[in-house]
Amino acid sequence: MTAAQTEALTGMLTVLGILVLLVLPSVVGIVRDRRIDRRIREAQARHERSDQKSSSRSTAPSTATWYADGRRSKKLVSS
């Protein structure tokens, strides 16, 4: 290999290294976003499945729920 070819190879590897350093954060962000999106879809699917299971139950709130709602509304009014 001649000196010119060695310099060209070194230059190309340097440019490639800089390109990788510039692109790497974007790729990591895309992978992270896809993972978060997948978790959100899974959570929504679980939530929809639990809603379907609970649809056979009565829709009247329990006494504890009614009491807690009343206490919350009183706190909002007084503040």
Domain residue limits at 31: 23-51
Q: Is the pLDDT of residue 47 over 60?
A: yes
| Number of domains comprising the chain | 1
Residue 27 lies in a domain: yes
Question: Is 9 inside any structural domain?
Answer: no
In a domain, 35, yes or no: yes
In a domain, residue 3? The reply is no
Which has more pLDDT, 56 or 4?
Answer: 4
Lowest mean pLDDT among 35-44, 58-67, 70-79: 70-79
Assigned domain for 30 exists? yes
Domain for residue 56, yes or no? no
For residue 67, the model assigns a pLDDT of: 60
Tell me the HSE value of 18 on the side-chain side, using a 13 A CA sphere.
5
pTM of the model: 0.51
* Rounded Cα–Cα distance for residues 5 and 9 (Å): 6
- 5-41: per-residue pLDDT in tens? 999 999 999 999 999 999 999 999 999 999 999 999 9
Residue 10 lies in a domain: no
Query: Across the chain, what does the average pLDDT equal?
Result: 82
Tell me whether residue 62 is in a domain. no
